[in-house]
Structure 1
Amino acid sequence: MLAAAGDGDARGAARALRDGADVEARDARRRTPLLLAAAADHVEVAELLLHVGADPDAVDDRSDTPWLVTGVTGSVAMGRLLLDAGADLTLRNRFGGLSPIPASERGHVAYVRWVTTTDVDLDHVNDLGWTALLEAVVLGDGGRRHRAVVQALLDAGADPMIRDRQGRTALELAEARGLTAMAAVLRRG
């Protein structure tokens, strides 16, 4: 079951289920078949697993859940599927963050635009002291994708005045990094 889910083999996963495989089986890192499918963006396998009752909130040994990894992969299709299955948007990853934070860091524009339409807290501060907006500035490259992420967050009402642990706003961080185009986006709001 685990191998089929991780490989995106929907037929193999269905066969394993028919043969009595546990939909909540765990690998050595405590990942379930659904988490493996989500991490590899195998939507068809995830649909099957959710249909037979897979837990969309199963947590692995790194505090990842299927929903949280959609922020890493940037998969809107998987995110929608898991949201429809009742995924808990308040669960936190190993850094204390919610899915928009890694999505913003990675410049997943389509995902950030979509996730801003959900009930997820866009102003959530992770254990590093960063919101999605701050992370896009601190860990992003300042390029087109990260500027689009920042604009999407601002358009959705993310608070640009939240400060990091050193007391700096996203604008101050962009200016300090020499990200002039990013700073311009933040000034315009």
Structure 2
Amino acid sequence: MKYKTVIIVLLNLIIFTACTSNNDSSKSNDKKVSDLNQAFIYSAEKGDTAKVTKLLQDGANINTTNEQGTTAVLAATYNNEINTVKALIDQGADINIRDNNLNNVLLYASAEGLLDIVKLAIDAGADTSITNRFGGTALIPAAERGHVEVVKALLTRSEIDVNHINNLHWTALMEAIILSDGGKKHQEIVQLLIDHGADATIGDEDGITPLQHAEKRGFHEIAEILKQAEA
């Protein structure tokens, strides 16, 4: 009886030791994978394309995210690392993934006027219907901030909705008036928007139209563009 008890104790000890060893090994592997993925994102952020490529070959997950929900391709976008963004897109990175701030490659690049990355994202088939934290598409902040070439690229190279309305009930046309200085860049953007189907009758949540806002702010050139569109 004592002999059987000793055998059972020894077997349990062996099983426990094996399980502990497996758990330790699993934790060690998980840490190695985590370190690899974080190094991958960091290298992308710094624009070290060669290191990024090497880490991918070593097994890094191309769509892994850090604590901020940022992927490698978005980290590269944040620093305008064009070559790294292109390399990651060529390797199949998902450019539509949004981070904790609800930014993705196209949304951030458009808002910041990063034209080369905007073009890369569009050509890679970026989903232009995805919205930022204000409920706006990439076109709206680009129009607001006066990024003429970005607006032009979005309107001519993608199927973006020119009349999308954000959480403030503003379209790109409305933001190009309400949040601008009415200068040359915004005049050009308003014309571009009109030429590509912007509906000048869509008002804000109080029903005030773009033309009424332009006239109130003394943006005479923009008001003339809108009047011609209505005519």
TM-score tier by shorter-chain length is over 0.9
C-alpha offsets along residues 29-60 of structure 1, whole Å, 9 cap, x if unaligned? 11111112223322211111112221111111
* Aligned counterpart, 2:104: 65
Contact kept? 1:68, 1:99, Cα under 8 Å = yes
Q: 1:149 — aligned with what?
A: 189
Partner of 2:132: 93
Equivalent residue in structure 2 for 1:79, among 110, 113, 118: 118
Of structures 1 and 2, the larger Rg is shown by 2
Show the 5 A alignment for 1:81-160.
Answer: 81-117=120-156, 118-160=158-200
Counterparts of 1:12 and 1:23, CA distance in 2: 13
Q: Is the 8 A contact 1:71 1:100 kept in 2?
A: yes
Q: 1:37 is matched with which residue: 62, 76, 81?
A: 76
8 Å CA contact 2:119, 2:153 repeated in 1 = no
Partner of 2:202: 162
User: Given the two structures, how large is their TM-score scaled by the length of structure 2?
Assistant: 0.77
Alignment partner for residue 20 of structure 1, among 59, 69, 72? 59
Tell me, in whole angstroms, the C-alpha distance in 2 between the residues paired with 1:150 and 1:5: 36
**Aligned-pair distance for 1:165?**
0.5
Identity of aligned residues (%): 38
If asked which structure has higher relative contact order (CA below 8 Å, sep 6+), I would say 1
Aligned amino acid, residue 67 of structure 1 = L
**Residue 52 (structure 1) aligns with:** 91
Q: CA deviation at 1:75?
A: 2.7
- More displaced 10-residue stretch of structure 1: 5-14 or 60-69: 5-14
Unaligned runs of 5+ in 2: 1-39
